[in-house]
Structure 1
């Protein structure tokens, strides 16, 4: 029975409980936290109350819990506070909890006892190791005649000048460094100077097994004569809590004892597995290809996944991912270039980046969202680059920004010469065609990007077609030549000189002679033909086709510069000469090297060179890696297989240069498609709302803007963005990476509990 106050109206009430139900009722009241108990027996001693045994049991369990908590903190084991308040256990569960706590306490005490014993044993062995090492140094120093005479004279003088030969005893031990001065004075006073003390500091601090503190100690050795002084010295060492250790007198015994101590220390430091046999790590020599591991972080992991989706790189092969970080979002932006759409994409990715910690803590099973979130940094760079290319295109939701004023002094088609355009004339004349050939019209280029006047010109598409097509070819050829250049680093690292001289050099010369020359023609045409003579400029496409066909009798397409025919003939012949280098010469050299390698073992007999095998200098430049793929494991060199393989590679590269260059025209096609879709969406939706003069007003414009925003996100951001992403992916996989990246390795997947718990064990 008890009385209690309840909150709110503060009513005093009595509650009668059965003894069996008291625990559950009080626990429920404790969960509610709305009552206050009054003690009706304030004069009764606490130890005389009925529930004193239960309280003692709870206090004992609390003590055990605090002991476990202290050990957890001592071991630096992180604990997670969920903030949840568990329910009060039932009385029958308290017995199980009590037994569990008892078991945990006993186990921890046993572990602590064993650990303390091991630490104490380790400390004693470590101190003994230092004693043996320092003692040997002391004895070596004592062999110095001058020092021997000094110590003998000191002890003989204190003994009254007796000339009998001294037979000194000694004790060795370890003492705390701060007690050395007092310890030395006490020895001198008690023994009346009849002892000789040598001490040296231990460089590294030692761990106290009882407290875990780091203690600085010193090794000492005390020489004396007689048992009386020996007893005094030991009592002084005991009083200063110095640890004494047995130390043999002969150097050989000390050496053997030191070896045994080091062995025991090594046993204590063994892998903590409880095994008396140490594990053996043997580094094996093998011809098997090791797995590939590329270290990444949260920023680079997405780009590495793009590369790994094509194929895991061979071991130590150059990794395309660092270059993909720049080239991938840039090529995407060339196809997706729009300032407005780029800003929206950047903001969406920036939101995921800023809130990544919270999103990671709230795990979701939505695979689509997880995929987008994993590529948040890729999307962020794609958005930033899209803003940049949008500025170059001067395109923002299909509209141009007139920030610097147009570079055209435009006139109506039938207006007097010199009359400039006004807004009135623009409204009256719906057709505007820009012609750079008209004098006094084009005053110079726009400071940044494309002139905004092209946005209202009827020949806008013709101009953009020419500009973006040439830009795509330039970017594509530069991208491919960069990929071929990266193959040089692979050949240098793997020491394949044959692949350099008969692989890389012919490939780069072939591409530079044809398509590198085409880029030079593009830039030459842009600089040599100004706005007033551009109509008379010859076609680059026809000129390039005639160059490859040696057709120079076409009168419809005049030369771009003087001496063009001679230069182009030389370039085509150089390109054609590269083909047999890759196709025939490399195959024949491989065969020759195989024969050299075959006779390499028989070229010397008794120190005399026989046969026609290679010299040491010739053997040093052979491409053994190229030969090993044919002759490893005893396989014979099959000239037909090598010739067919080399022919396939040569034809694939030469034709690929043409098809890959044409493939980069997708940059031009998707850029125009994105711009046209954006313009159609503006014209068909937003333009109607802005030009409407009905009474709907703001309400109608709000509905139209909502539809425009939804279509912009769904069509231009998601669908067009996904399309540009896939095309940029193809350009990297097929046109760029195949120039230097084999991608036939396998990934290094270490055994990791963290990966297993996070569900990444199947990667």
Structure 2
């Protein structure tokens, strides 16, 4: 179902204007119709339903406001959708206006009471802590006296007699600035004490300050300075004890008032929360309806539109049209006629996916949407992507850990699907991909014989020497039954052997995948009946790739299969000689038993490569130029020189791309080597230190420290970071090296009318009003 996209029909719809909205409402629930815009040249604000779009946008802003207030109040929205009988936009707007007006009225009362409450609260704090700013009073405030020792140094006798106090609060970050300003404005004749209040006032931390300055004029100037900085001055006609008692009683009353006011607000929002999702769904439905109605052309009282419908849904769509005509009492039957698809028009692409294949399709669509009826790479990603990942990540132990994590996500899928966290959602969507990558990693780990970088002698070794008397007898060398012989892990030539094996394996895998991609390109060209491109482009591309790089793969496998008693030939030098000295084979580069045969093969490959490069460079420009002369109406003002230059560039890119893409597959070897070496270092430097202790007691105690370190490093670095690195490299190989051989990605997705929360209105309310 994901190999090629679904078959699409282009249809023309003719519907009466008075039932058009009802008809499109039926289409929204079908999720099978995508309208094309027949009014592309008409500005959005001049279209037939621009006012309706404006109205929907205005209602949406009201609904958004109510939802935001519900979320701010932490009111739970029911999971089950609550339906109402009415679905009229007029009724919806009236209900929303009533809710908003009632809520804003209650909110206004609440804010007024809250302001009074905050003032009283601040007043009680000032009264409580006023004695801490060096205000000396008899029994909490019958008069103010300042220490004579202090004032006598600052003020004259006359000034001391007219000394005035200013009690105020100020934001803590401004205290120093305000005191400095007061010092300047009073010419230094000021004494002050401050106290840091622990409570906050409207999320503002404040200080309590008491200043003493001479003269009423100075007091007035100081008060203006304090107010300009956001300070608040306090004056108490009665003694502080009485004022504190009165303020505390008023504060308690306001707390009760605020609680009741907040409860009334919540009651209004709770009623709205029951139906907020239903209203949202209704609004999104109306969005889709009027958005798509603007795509239709109006001819008198009939709306005409063109739409894409999947071939398999044609009968169901026609049935729904008949049912809608019957419900609305329409005497003139609505017509849905299938019409031919113009050559310049490409149908949209749609694939049927499930929870398993959806992640692979998303990987493809992140690169680009497949063209109509083009082979979908996601079909091959299902096995290819986990395989290339496992070649880089192959380890039985690490694969088992990741597999268990993926299985846990699958088992608890229902619970995890309700978690709203970007990271968890991303991992959850890829749970089947992670599981398959882990299973492949376990299989490749058995091939590498790697279990947390350890090798296990499961099937016996061909390199285990038997001791007979005083002599060591060499064993009979035989091929390991499965995977890598464990003794290679402990051999001195371990790195040299594994590097050579993994490097050549990476090249074989890379060339095989790219050749397979070219075969898929052939299938696409045959499906599209593009035989000129098949002859002019595909044949030289495939012949060049299969000729030289296919021969390289053959040489690698042939070299593996031979029992070399002497130094084997270096393949890199041999392949370079194919182009530098065609037909010449020296002793160091002789792979086959017959050097003459090998030389003939090299000559053939050299001439084949040159001919295919010239073919690729010349054939298509010649065909396009001749076709352009025969059909000038299809030329689109193309110049012959542009065609030639474009093809020359394509040829150079393809030839160099074959080399660079093959080299790019060496990342399979590089990451596999890095993963195994890192795992080995972790084991040797952590667990290996403890296990190597001569004393069992010391070794056991040290394991209590080294094992958590080893486990944490394995999970965080190898199972998480290394897995992410291998995933990204696998993504690069899939997108660039594999897709570039056949995948055009020039299509666009089928986006039918349906209710989507992320759907955007083309014309905003403000734009519609401005016009």
TM range (shorter): 0.5 to 0.7
SS of structure 2 residue aligned to 1:419: strand
Q: Is the 8 A contact 2:370 2:748 kept in 1?
A: yes
SS at match of 1:582: helix
Structure 1 pair 727/268, CA: closer, same or farther in 2 (3 Å)? closer
Q: TM-score w.r.t. structure 1 length?
A: 0.55
Q: Does the aligned pair in 1 maintain the 2:692–2:699 contact within 8 Å?
A: no
| Deviation sequence 1:169-207 (CA, Å, 0-9, x none) | xxxxxxxxxxxxxxxxxxxxxxxxxxxxxxxxxxxxxxx
Q: 2:626 aligns with which of 580, 587, 592?
A: 592
In 1, the alpha carbon distance for the partners of 2:331 and 2:751 equals 31
Asked if the contact 2:559/2:591 (under 8 Å) is kept, the reply is no
For residues 669-706 of structure 1, the C-alpha deviation after alignment (integer angstroms, 9 at most, x for no partner) is 11111000000000011112222336456454233212
**1:653–1:411 Cα change, 3 Å:** farther
The equivalent of 1:650 in structure 2 is 651
Give 1:130-149 correspondences, 5 Å limit.
none
Structure index of larger Rg: 1
Residue 573 of structure 2 is aligned with which of 529, 542, 555?
542
The aligned counterpart of 1:332 is 389
Alignment check: 8 A CA contact 2:585 2:598 kept? no
Q: 1:309 aligns with which of 366, 370, 390?
A: 366
Match in the other structure for 1:709 = 711
Given that residues 395 and 442 in structure 2 are in contact (C-alpha distance below 8 angstroms), is that contact kept between their aligned partners in structure 1?
yes
1:515 equivalenced with 2:549 (yes/no)? yes
Could you tell me whether the CA contact under 8 Å between 1:502 and 1:585 is conserved in 2?
yes
The 1:267–1:350 alpha-carbon spacing in structure 2 relative to 1, beyond 3 Å, is closer
Question: Alignment length, in residue pairs?
Answer: 443
Of 526, 530, 535, which residue of structure 2 is paired with 1:501? 535
Distance 1:703 1:749 in 2: 56
Check if 1:297 corresponds to 2:354. Answer: yes
Q: CA deviation at 1:291?
A: 2.0
- Shift of the alpha carbon at 1:516? 0.3
Per-residue Cα deviation, 1:585-625 (whole angstroms, up to 9, x for no partner): 22112222233335xxxxxxxxxxxxxxxxxxxxxxxxxxx
Name the counterpart of 1:318.
375
Contact 2:690 2:699 in 1 (8 A): no
Contact 1:509 1:578 in 2 (8 A): yes
Give 1:739-758 correspondences, 5 Å limit: 739-753=741-755, 755-756=756-757
Q: What pairs with 1:555-574 in structure 2 (closer than 5 Å)?
A: 555-562=587-594, 563-574=597-608
SS in 2 for 1:536: coil
Listed one character per residue, the Cα deviations across residues 302-353 of structure 1 (whole Å, up to 9, x for unaligned) are: 0111111111111221111010111100000000000111111111111111
State the secondary structure of the residue aligned to 1:313.
coil
Distance in 1 separating the partners of 2:338 and 2:398: 55
Counterpart-to-counterpart distance in 2, 1:557 and 1:580: 28
Change (3 A) 1:710 1:502: same
Aligned residue for 1:357, secondary structure, equals helix
- Which residue is 1:281 aligned to? 336
Confirm whether residue 342 of structure 1 aligns to residue 399 of structure 2: yes
Aligned residue in 2 for 1:140: none
Structure ranking higher on relative contact order (CA contacts 8 Å, 6+ apart): 2
Residue 635 of structure 1 aligns to a residue whose secondary structure is: coil
Q: How does 1:120-269 map to 2 (within 5 A)?
A: none
| Alignment partners' CA distance in 2, 1:555 and 1:445 | 29
Given candidates 712, 734, 737, the residue that maps to 2:736 is: 734
Q: Distance in 2 between matches of 1:741 and 1:450?
A: 36
Question: How much does 1:273 deviate?
Answer: 3.9
Q: 1:394 aligns with which of 438, 444, 449?
A: 449
> For residue 432 of structure 2, what is the aligned residue in structure 1?
377
8 Å CA contact 1:408, 1:444 repeated in 2: no
Given that residues 571 and 589 in structure 2 are in contact (C-alpha distance below 8 angstroms), is that contact kept between their aligned partners in structure 1?
no
Corresponding residue number in structure 2 for 1:45: none
Equivalent-residue separation in structure 1 for 2:739 and 2:328 (angstroms)? 48
Q: Distance in 2 between matches of 1:268 and 1:466?
A: 70
Q: Which of these residues, 721, 728, 735, is aligned with residue 723 of structure 2?
A: 721
d(CA) in 2 for partners of 1:514, 1:369 = 46
Q: CA deviation at 1:480?
A: 0.2
Task: Verify: 1:490 aligned to 2:524, yes or no.
Answer: yes
Q: What do residues 145-175 of structure 1 show as CA deviations (whole Å, max 9, x unaligned)?
A: xxxxxxxxxxxxxxxxxxxxxxxxxxxxxxx
Asked whether 1:529 is paired with 2:563, we answer: yes
SS of residue matched to 2:578: helix
Q: CA distance change for structure 1 residues 268 and 376 in 2, over 3 Å: closer, same or farther? A: closer
Match of 1:663 in 2: 664
Paired with 1:564 and 1:309, the residues of 2 have a C-alpha distance of: 45
Cα deviation code 1:502-543 (max 9, x no counterpart): 21111111111101011111111112235xx2x421111111
Using the alignment, how far apart are the partners of 1:654 and 1:313 within structure 2?
Answer: 25
C-alpha displacement of 1:290: 2.3
Asked if 1:580 is matched to 2:614, the reply is yes
Q: Secondary structure of the residue that 2:363 maps to in structure 1?
A: helix
Secondary structure of the 2:507 match is helix
Q: Could you say if the C-alpha distance between residues 417 and 737 of structure 1 is closer, same or farther in structure 2, counting changes exceeding 3 Å?
A: farther
Residues 65-104 of structure 1: pairs in structure 2 closer than 5 A: none
Q: Contact conserved, 2:690 with 2:700, CA < 8 A, in 1?
A: no
- Structure 2: how far apart are the matches of 1:447 and 1:555? 34
Determine the C-alpha separation between the residues in 2 that align with 1:590 and 1:474. Answer: 36
TM-superposed deviation, 1:281? 3.0
Residue 268 of structure 1 deviates from its aligned partner by: 8.1
- Label 1:442 to 1:649 Cα distance change in 2 as closer, same or farther (>3 A): farther
Return closer, same or farther for 1:685/1:761 CA change in 2, 3 Å cut-off: farther
Tell me the residue number matched to 2:129.
none
- Match of 1:281, SS state, is strand
- Is 2:621–2:644's contact at 8 Å kept on the other side of the alignment? yes
Q: Report how far residue 747 of structure 1 moved.
A: 1.8
With over 3 angstroms needed to count, the CA separation of the structure-2 counterparts of 1:269 and 1:741, relative to structure 1, is: closer
| Conservation of the 8 A alpha-carbon contact between 2:578 and 2:605 | no
Check whether the contact 1:591–1:637 (CA below 8 A) recurs between aligned residues: no
| Contact 2:370 2:743 (C-alpha < 8 Å) held by counterparts | yes
Instruction: Indicate how the Cα distance of structure 1 residues 561 and 272 shifts in structure 2: closer, same or farther if over 3 A, else same.
Output: farther
Stretch moving more, 538-547 or 587-596: 587-596
> Does the CA contact (< 8 Å) of 2:585 and 2:599 recur in 1?
no
- Asked if 2 retains the 8 angstrom alpha-carbon contact of 1:529 and 1:537, the reply is no
Post-superposition Cα deviations, 1:739-763, rounded to whole Å, max 9, x if no partner, equal: 110112222222222x32xx5889x
Equivalent residue number for residue 359 of structure 1 = 416
CA–CA distance in 2 between the matches of 1:493 and 1:540? 39
Matches within 5 A, 1:10-49: none
Deviations 1:385-413 (A, max 9, x none): 0001001000000001111111114489x
User: Mean Cα displacement is larger for which, 722-731 or 744-753?
Assistant: 744-753
1:483: Cα distance to partner? 0.4
Q: Deviations over 1:611-660 (max 9, x none)?
A: xxxxxxxxxxxxxxxxxxxx54x624421111122112211111111111
Measure the CA separation in 2 of the matches of 1:549 and 1:514: 14
CA distance in 1, matches of 2:377, 2:653: 21
Q: CA deviation at 1:495?
A: 0.8
Task: Report the CA distance between 1:556 and its aligned residue.
Answer: 4.0
Q: Residues of 2 paired with 1:485 and 1:761: CA distance?
A: 41
Question: What's 1:458 paired with?
Answer: 492
Shift of the 352–267 alpha-carbon distance from structure 1 to 2, 3 Å rule, reads closer
Distance 2:627 2:322 in 1: 55
